[in-house]
């Protein structure tokens, strides 16, 4: 398997290559436009987009060829854009698969139950949901299951490599997200049915509520199915827009799709406990009634080892202007993450004469860059450093003493808070979403949008290194006790035992 799929300009080719792909039957224009929602409101011609742009980005030409996965069968590196041409000209005759199945490192377990675990994306950068999939795969491996992992793409080769360490086989099947008004892709369902039958799979689980074809295949094969819930539809307008649906429809369809919903927090579980008002579930449900689907709570865990290895923050002279308190913000850089509050917070701290050094990690939007310039132009005591994207949390947390969350977005768990706690960094944020049940007295939470309270909390930490240290110690202990690996694996084991016990298949 190549270490990376190269994505760069390909040599100029004659028209024969384009004609070969168009005539191969592996490009499906209708599927292509349905698969990629970003194309829905454009006037683009499907094949032209694929030829000029999509293949360079690892976008699949149809349901029967994995553009980014194909190259993982080769010993030499292959340009992602050339994957389909290589298959048609050489690979097919060599017996290579258009939908690769890669052998993993999991030890042989002939008598174990076999689980199919489906991820919802594998793009260039890993976010919380993808890291949580690794945690789930690792837990299921430890519990003794024979694990098959399915991914819709293989652009992130490091992610693929991590999953291969935990599974018996990794399968690349092009599949997208459910959308209201779009029928499930029958060819994709067929691929999953074939996979289930060929590998003697006993149950199917998805890492997100956005998937549908794997769950439909499970039902057709009479298998139990679980969905790991990481979304809060009622508070996520972007999710609703992406799925072309309202929260009631999303919750209703999620409840219909699985035998067990595995929530990552009590807060997330409560989102799905009852059918929302306005639900379109039909005559079988009553608005606001209790849902009949089984629910379990398995709080997220994280890879704590590198965070536990971090020493407590250096606190000498934190109250002096020459050494201001370093406050980290781990964010996507979008408005929904609350970064617009940073400017108001900086002004509130300036009014108190307090020096703070904010370090913002993550891809910086144009809006954030402009805000950082405005704060810098004030030449005050507060500074904003845009540190860019970092691939691992401990790299970021090693550089700060406090972690601040300004998110207005309801978090279904609060992974950033847990990372801060494990790293013995004091956490400050809004009392919103699932954060209270994660932090629970081991940090400072204020009401949503209360800038003055945030400023007071940071001022208190800057003036009291002892409190900062104490909160860090309490947070680290809670992280290990409540969200450590042993607790996670035990909860995961209980949930999957329940899935099989309740199965009627």
Tens digit of each residue's pLDDT (9 = 90 or more) over 85-109: 999 999 999 999 999 999 999 988 9
| Same-domain pairing of 336 and 287 | no
Domain that holds residue 141: 101-301+486-501
> Domain holding 378: CATH number?
3.40.50.2000
| Same-domain pairing of 176 and 203 | yes
What Rg value do the Cα atoms of the chain yield, rounded?
24
- Kindly state the tokens that stand for 133: 């999939």
Choose one of 79, 94, 109: the last residue of a domain.
94
| Same-domain pairing of 76 and 116 | no
Q: Is residue 165 part of a domain?
A: yes
Choose one of 94, 125, 141: the last residue of a domain.
94
Q: Is residue 1 part of a domain?
A: no
351 in helix, strand or coil? helix
Q: What is the DSSP code string of 5-32?
A: -B-SPPPP--HHHHHHHHHSS---HHHH
Contact between residue 224 and residue 505 where contact means Cβ atoms under 8 Å apart = yes
Choose one of 62, 79, 94: the last residue of a domain.
94
Beta strands 260-263 and 169-172 are unpaired
| Same-domain pairing of 180 and 200 | yes
What residue ranges in 123-272 does DSSP mark as E strands? Answer: 146-151, 169-172, 203-206, 225-229, 260-263
Q: What is the pLDDT of residue 222?
A: 97
Q: Is residue 4 part of a domain?
A: no
Distance CA 241, CA 134 (A): 27
Closest CA to 179 of 212, 141, 227: 212
402 in helix, strand or coil? strand
- Kindly state the tokens that stand for 75: 């010993």
Residues of the chain with pLDDT under 70: 1-15, 274-291, 314-322, 332-337, 503-505
- Kindly state the tokens that stand for 293: 């689907």
| Same-domain pairing of 270 and 406 | no
Q: Is residue 365 part of a domain?
A: yes
| Same-domain pairing of 493 and 395 | no
Q: What is the pLDDT of residue 12?
A: 46
| Same-domain pairing of 291 and 344 | no
Helix (H) or strand (E) holding 102: strand 101-103
**Angular region, 153: left φ>0, alpha ψ -120 to 50, beta rest:** beta
Distance CA 225, CA 133 (A): 16
Write down the pTM of the prediction: 0.87
Distance CA 424, CA 422 (A): 5
Q: Is residue 470 part of a domain?
A: yes
| Same-domain pairing of 220 and 291 | yes
Q: Which 8-state DSSP code applies to residue 316?
A: T
Distance CA 67, CA 43 (A): 23
Q: What is the pLDDT of residue 290?
A: 57
Closest CA to 126 of 89, 153, 156, 98: 156
Q: Is residue 9 part of a domain?
A: no
- Kindly state the tokens that stand for 27: 């490009």
| Same-domain pairing of 220 and 366 | no
| Same-domain pairing of 225 and 351 | no
| Same-domain pairing of 332 and 463 | yes
Q: What is the pLDDT of residue 294?
A: 92
Q: Is residue 307 part of a domain?
A: no
Number of domains in the chain: 3
| Same-domain pairing of 238 and 144 | yes
């Amino acid at each position: 398997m190549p270490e990376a799929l190269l994505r760069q300009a390909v040599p100029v080719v004659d028209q024969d290559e384009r004609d070969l792909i168009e005539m191969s039957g592996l490009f499906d224009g209708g599927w292509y436009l349905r698969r990629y929602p970003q194309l829905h409101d454009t006037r683009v011609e499907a094949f032209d987009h694929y030829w000029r742009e999509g293949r360079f980005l690892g976008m699949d030409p149809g349901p029967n060829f994995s553009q980014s996965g194909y190259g993982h069968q080769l010993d030499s590196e292959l340009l992602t854009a050339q994957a389909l041409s290589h298959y048609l000209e050489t690979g097919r005759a060599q017996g290579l698969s258009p939908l690769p199945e890669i052998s993993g490192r999991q030890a042989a377990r002939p008598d174990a139950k076999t689980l199919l675990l489906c991820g919802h994306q594998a793009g260039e950068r890993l976010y919380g949901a993808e890291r949580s999939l690794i945690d789930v795969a690792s837990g299921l491996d430890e519990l003794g299951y024979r694990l098959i992992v399915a991914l819709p793409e293989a652009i992130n080769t490091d992610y693929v490599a991590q999953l291969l360490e935990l599974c018996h086989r990794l399968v690349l099947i092009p599949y997208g997200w459910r959308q209201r008004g779009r029928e499930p892709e029958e060819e994709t369902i067929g691929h999953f049915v074939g996979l289930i039958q060929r590998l003697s799979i006993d149950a199917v689980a998805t890492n997100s509520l956005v998937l549908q074809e794997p769950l439909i295949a499970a039902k057709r094969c009479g298998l139990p199915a679980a969905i790991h819930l990481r979304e809060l539809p009622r508070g996520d307008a972007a999710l609703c827009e992406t799925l072309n649906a309202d929260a009631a429809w999303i919750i209703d369809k999620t409840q219909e799709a699985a035998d067990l919903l595995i929530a990552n927090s009590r807060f997330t579980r409560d989102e799905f406990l009852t059918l929302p008002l306005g639900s379109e579930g039909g005559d079988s449900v009553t608005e606001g009634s209790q849902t009949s689907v089984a629910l379990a709570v398995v709080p997220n865990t994280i890879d704590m080892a590198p965070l536990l290895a971090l020493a407590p923050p250096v606190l000498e002279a934190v109250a002096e202007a020459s050494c201001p308190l370093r406050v980290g913000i781990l964010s996507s850089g979008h408005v929904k993450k609350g970064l617009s509050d940073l400017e108001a917070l900086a002004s509130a701290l300036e009014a108190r004469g307090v020096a703070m050094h904010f370090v913002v990690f993550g891809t910086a939007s144009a809006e954030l860059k402009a805000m950082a310039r405005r704060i810098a132009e004030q030449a005050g005591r507060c500074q904003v450093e845009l540190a860019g994207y970092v691939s691992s949390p401990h790299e970021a947390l090693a550089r700060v003493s406090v972690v601040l969350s300004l998110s207005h977005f309801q978090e279904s768990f609060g992974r950033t808070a847990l990372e801060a706690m494990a790293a013995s960094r004091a956490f400050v944020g809004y009392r919103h979403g699932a954060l209270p049940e994660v932090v629970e007295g081991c940090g400072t939470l204020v009401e949503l949008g209360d800038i003055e309270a945030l400023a007071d909390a940071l001022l208190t930490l800057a003036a009291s290194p002892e409190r900062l240290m104490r909160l860090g110690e309490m947070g680290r202990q809670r992280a290990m006790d409540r969200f450590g690996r042993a607790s996670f694996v035990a909860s995961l084991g209980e949930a999957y035992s329940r899935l099989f016990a309740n199965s009627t298949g």
